[in-house]
Amino acid sequence: MQKTARDMILSLGLIGLVAGVVWLFIPHDDSDPDLKRVDYRVDLLTARRAASYPVAAPEGLPEAWKPTSVRYRGEEGESWHLGYHTPDGEYVAVEQSTQKPVLFIEDATQGAEKTDVTQRIDGKTWTRYEGGRYDALVLEGTDGSTTVVTGTASFGQLTKMAESLRTE
């Protein structure tokens, strides 16, 4: 009986030692992955030709703002998406669509709630939405589309993105 217990303890020790050695030699990288910068110029031109509304994209953002995702879906409410990685590691997206505003805003903001706070950006009134995951600035346009600047970034960064948006 003692011999079996001793053998089991030695086996567990050997397994632990082997696992430790393996762990030491496997590379560990806990840093954020390097996100690939996307070139969205062709997608933007395509969306601007196809959409029934003026498609917005940022101009003049610092190089540290990295575009990471882009798509235009004409069959889904003429949805335009442009995602960015900010210099401090947050996420900001520009979303536009001709979908029914209440449904589109709910989806784009991931359920953020409308607040009474508004702000003027380039002569237009944007409404703040606050949520558990994303905050947002929302502009319900007169051109039949809704524009949402949303993400994990601060309202200061969301405002910076909204200020940089141009339609031509």
Q: Would you give per-residue pLDDT tens digits along the chain (168 residues)?
A: 567 888 888 899 999 999 988 888 888 766 666 778 999 999 999 999 999 999 999 999 999 999 999 999 988 889 999 999 999 999 999 999 999 999 999 999 999 999 999 999 999 999 999 999 999 999 997 788 999 999 999 999 999 999 999 997
Phi, psi of 84 (to 5 degrees): -130, 150
Q: So what's the pLDDT on residue 33?
A: 64
Query: In this predicted structure, what is the pLDDT of residue 136?
Result: 97
Q: CA-to-CA distance for 32 and 27, rounded, in angstroms?
A: 15
Q: Name the phi and psi angles at 114, rounded to 5.
A: -65, 140
Q: Return d(Cα 115, Cα 51) in angstroms, integer.
A: 29
Domain boundaries, given as residue ranges, for the chain = 41-166
Burial zone of 15 (CB within 10 Å; 0-12 exposed, 13-18 middle, 19+ buried): exposed
Q: Identify the sign of the CA torsion 150, 33, 60, 42.
A: negative
Provide the pLDDT for residue 30.
Answer: 66
How many angstroms separate the CA atoms of 101 and 107, rounded? 10
Q: What local confidence, expressed as pLDDT, does residue 31 receive?
A: 66
What is the pTM assigned to this prediction? 0.80
Give pLDDT, residue 24: 84
**Structural tokens at position 99:** 């979908």
In CATH, 41-166 is 2.60.40: no
**Helices and strands per DSSP (H, E), number in the chain:** 4, 9
Nearest to 153 by CA among 104, 94, 99: 94
